[in-house]
Structure 1
């Protein structure tokens, strides 16, 4: 009951904050609505007073919020301030579009994750795994590329250059393929790599060894190993479902899809409060449903083992990664940045507009004749440094809140339901616009998958056999947290955070792409895409060059994450079924 009240309180606070958005931003809602209705009409005091009277703005935000909630109780979500049409049908139609896109994207993500884990499952079923990692650099790059970048590349290459699939509009199943690929490929790669990180531990558990010794088919063992690992990924899968439905604003913008995220963004920009509130409520309800389903599936898969504390730990030592590869990729990235820094990112040469890559301009030029290599190099400084700082903050926040699942669980579900762009608008309204606004907006939502991952791993580790035995010998909560739980949880969550580092960099870029971040003539990466997107057909290098640099960043982040592994000594402690054999446990027992 307390958790339910906490969830209801968070949702109510969110809806209230959304309802106060025009007043928090110190803008005149009547003027914004007038501009949205007719940009050419003169905003005279009489016209603005008439709009305020029509919308009831003179009664204040809380009166409007109360009227909206009372109508919602009777199934009436109000009428749009801009078009005057009923809100509920429009929001439901946008939700239907997003759910269809979500279904196709989930299929793409599942297929991608299956391909990434296929070799690990095959080796594990034949007892040939030996702790080796099967996922390669290609999946690392794919996992690190966010939807915004993938959508731009697919639209440019597949939709425009090759013309294989339509890249604009929403008129049938063919129009769902490219946006579903843009959403499903990176998410499936992330889920696939997280799953591939857990599978070696599952195949090394006693039940798997016993099943193989009894002669059970390898596919049966592989299927059970997959089932063993899924509960640790279900929370992030639920976040992915909600993110596709409401958070894919940039993808919907690129492909001109009338989904719920885009509808909510347009309502927020136009301060169309009834539509904005209804869209936000739909996203919050969807997040609650997805979280409940993930929790239910976790209970169905390993509920009795969680209850009885009868789980072995999945986290075991892994062999060293290819130590030279991160240095090679890092050297390439530094070389690109180093070659771009001596060049002038603001120098205009209209005679060299949209020129192809050449020795003088290795990455080509943009629509104003500016050197793209120079703009990539100078934009990398601010973008990468800020992304690294945000990643560190979100990692610490995710770990801290993930250790308190009853407090953070409802908060994670609610925050995940918000499109990052809407969060940016709320942050701008509260903190004001400035250079820190995109960073605050991204940091406000980027911790949620890490907190969900931490909570899922922590739930399973607390039910591990070695932890149950150590607790029975008198170990206290702080001892267990320091010596058992954190060593098992921190490395995989840190790898997850590094996996999302390029995504954070592009989340900052996507805000700039949508006009909420850096402004021209800044060489920020988001502006590179925003400025060059209209010329993708004539000059694809203007989009593909920064895409290649971001792919390089993704490969660097993920290969560096492979070096973060649990210490062999910590894993050996877990593999000892008689915990009193451990020196620190003998000392603990002696002190008691």
Structure 2
């Protein structure tokens, strides 16, 4: 109850923003309704006033919010501005479709997670574990956003090979590709988290005693799984929340009539009543999944939760892979070379005679459906996306530091549970699709992990002896902040923000893919992918080129994070210590592992 009460205010604020969408939009709702329903009538003031009166939009913000909330309590979700039909039946039907798709995706995710961690389970149960096995492959898959996996699966398995239908919903074969597109990144993330947690369970005394007592390896592996589940269930809740954001892109690409596709169509058409209902349903679905995971963790812990009988998992030191840093450098150099080569070309030049031309000396990566050079658009898109991501990361760093030092825990957790796609839908409903709206949407949620990191470091620094000594000597708040707290907080949080730049770029690309970000004809990776998907059967390179660039960016984020962690672990091992010396933890590593963000940025437990 305390958990729910502390977050109720934040949740109500988010719901209020959804309810106020008709008053927050910069366009006149009456004009939207007029153009959709009465295209033959002139937009005179009398006609617009009549529409506002008939739809209840003639009151102030509180009146609009009150009518919407009262309708919710009666089960009335309003009428579509475009069709004039009640929203409830369509949203209820779409909710069932999304629920079925999320269930199938969760099944794929669980199976993939178990497959990725099977080697660690087998070796750990037999006391032969010297290194985790799922790390590289799982991290690479987890770094890929759902829209990218969906686009590649549709291009290769549906269009090129014809194994599965590319569009539609209803048959079992039409469920396969959407479930794989959503389940593979989620399962890879869950498998990585499970693979990272299992060595700590196998290193505990009970595992050694069970092996010495002759307990079968299968039973030891089952006990290890049960030991790590309580710690992983909250992460599983966030992963399921991430599926709600991924559903928007996947349902739209595969023409699945679920909440995600319905919400995207409503956002692009400015049909705000439908958008309100869909976003609210997706939000409640994600919160219900998180609450169910939290409840499951408490039930699994049982009495140990109350009396502290269950100690925290402490991972043993396993050898770090030395090839991580060179691989990260290679990918960074490759991406930089492609960017520089593309910047030397014109991304807007149209050659109608060379539409969908194959790669050649004149066009190393071919041309798109309009005859524009793919390499040029890829290079200029890199510059645009990365520069925007850097600016957003700087803004989120400032917001994260402020929120973390203010200990805004409830707001941080709520923002952390909101996929960037949902924020993008709301931003599109308010300001319409565009680059500024996409940047604002990503900023609105990307600060939360930095705030959680800052809050943990702030609490650790406040408890340090040097701060207590400074307070006893009469140091003021400003002196404490400038000389004692910020030196311990700022460096690791800044490094964390830098590591999140590729993830922010992927979030921007996902909104561009959905048509909620940068608009044509400006080059942007996600938009390049969506623009050329209809021509994948004739030419795959305009789709696979931006897909490969996005994959490289995601894997680069994972490898960079792993290289930073591995370098610190190797330095600590060379110094002959298990971790940072007492009193210096805040300056060398964060106090806790940073929770993975669902959706596009999926680097698990990054420790900057």
> If the TM-score is normalised by the length of the shorter chain, which range does it land in?
0.7 to 0.9
Residues 405-554 of structure 1 mapped to structure 2, 5 A cutoff: 406-408=409-411, 411-412=414-415, 415-416=418-419, 419-425=422-428, 428=431, 435-447=435-447, 502-554=502-554
CA 1:133/1:442 → structure 2, altered by over 3 Å: closer, same or farther? same
User: CA separation in 2, counterparts of 1:17 and 1:68?
Assistant: 12
Find the counterpart in structure 2 of residue 212 from structure 1.
211
The residue correspondences of 1:346-365 to structure 2 (distance < 5 A) are: 346-365=348-367
How many angstroms does 1:6 deviate by?
4.1
Alignment of 1:175-254 (within 5 A): 175-245=174-244, 247-254=246-253
Point out the more displaced range, 102-111 or 267-276.
267-276
Q: Name the SS of the counterpart of 2:528 in structure 1.
A: helix
1:124 corresponds to 2:124: yes
Deviations 1:470-501 (A, max 9, x none): x9x9x99x9xxxxxxxx9xx999989995x76
Could you say which residue in structure 2 is the equivalent of 1:115?
A: 115
Identify if the C-alpha distance between structure 1 residues 386 and 184 changes in structure 2 by more than 3 Å, giving closer, same or farther. Answer: same
Is the CA contact (8 Å cut-off) linking 1:415 and 1:448 kept in structure 2? Answer: no
CA distance in 1, matches of 2:232, 2:451: 12
- Describe the superposition over 1:39-66 as per-residue Cα deviations: whole angstroms up to 9, x where unpaired: 5654344432332232122233432332
Check 1:501–1:291 CA distance in 2 against 1; reply closer, same or farther (3 A cut): same
Q: What is the CA distance between 1:253 and its match in structure 2?
A: 1.4
Structure 1 residue 549: deviation in Å?
Answer: 1.9
CA displacement at 1:375 relative to structure 2: 1.4
1:368 aligns with one of 362, 367, 370:
370
1:549 to 1:435, Cα distance in 2 relative to 1, 3 A = closer
CA distances 1:159-218 after superposition (whole Å, capped 9, x unpaired): 112111111122222212111111111121122222222222222222222222222222
Q: TM-score, normalised by structure 1?
A: 0.82
TM-score, normalised relative to structure 2? 0.80
- Structure 1 pair 391–113 and aligned structure 2 pair: CA distance change class (3 A): farther
User: 3-state SS of the aligned residue for 1:564?
Assistant: helix
1:167 match: secondary structure: coil
Report the Cα offset of residue 299 of structure 1: 1.4
In structure 2, the residue matched to 1:387 is: 389
Spell out, residue by residue over 1:103-151, the C-alpha distance to the aligned partner (whole angstroms, 9 max, x if none). Answer: 1111111122222212222221222222x13125443332211111111
Structure 1 residues 180 and 75: CA distance shift in structure 2, 3 A: same
CA deviation string 1:512-553 (max 9, x = no partner): 233332223322212212322222221111000111122222
Q: Note the C-alpha offset of 1:509.
A: 1.8
SS state at 1:299 partner: helix
Does the aligned pair in 2 maintain the 1:416–1:445 contact within 8 Å?
yes
**In the alignment, does 2:380 pair up with 1:378?**
yes
- Tell whether the 8 Å contact from 1:435 to 1:518 is kept in structure 2 after alignment: yes
Deviates more, 1:300-309 or 1:286-295: 300-309
For residues 389-419 of structure 1, the C-alpha deviation after alignment (integer angstroms, 9 at most, x for no partner) is 5457658867986895852465247635971
Match of 2:23 in 1: 23
**Whole-Å separation in 2 of the counterparts to 1:449 and 1:584:** 24
2:181–2:250: 8 Å Cα contact kept in structure 1? yes
Quote the Cα distance in structure 2 between the aligned partners of 1:308 and 1:493. 37
Is structure 2 residue 94 aligned with structure 1 residue 94? yes
Q: Report the more deviating stretch, 444-453 or 81-90.
A: 444-453
SS of residue matched to 2:563: coil
CA RMSD across the alignment:
4.1
Q: Distance in 2 between matches of 1:378 and 1:556?
A: 19
Distance 2:191 2:393 in 1: 21
Structure 2 residues without counterparts, runs of 5 or longer: 471-487, 585-608
Q: Per the alignment, do residues 3 and 199 of structure 1 end up closer, same or farther by CA in structure 2, a change over 3 Å counting? A: closer
Change (3 A) 1:206 1:73: same
| Residue 328, structure 1, aligned to residue 327, structure 2 | no
Given that 2:272 and 2:429 are in contact with CA atoms closer than 8 Å, whether structure 1 keeps it comes out as no
Q: Deviations 1:37-94 (Å, cap 9, x if unpaired)?
A: 3556543444323322321222334323322322332333333333333332222111
Kindly tell me the number of residue pairs found equivalent between the two proteins.
Answer: 560
**Cα separation, 2, equivalents of 1:583 and 1:555:** 34
Alpha-carbon distance change, 364 to 222 in structure 1, aligned in 2, over 3 angstroms: same
| CA apart distance, 1:351 | 2.0
**Partners in 1 of 2:141 and 2:255 — Cα distance?**
24
User: Contact between 2:270 and 2:429, CA under 8 Å: does it hold in 1?
Assistant: no
- The 8 Å contact of residues 412 and 452 in structure 1, kept in 2 or not, is answered as no
Q: Which moved more, 1:105-114 or 1:526-535?
A: 526-535
CA distance in 2, matches of 1:379, 1:261: 26
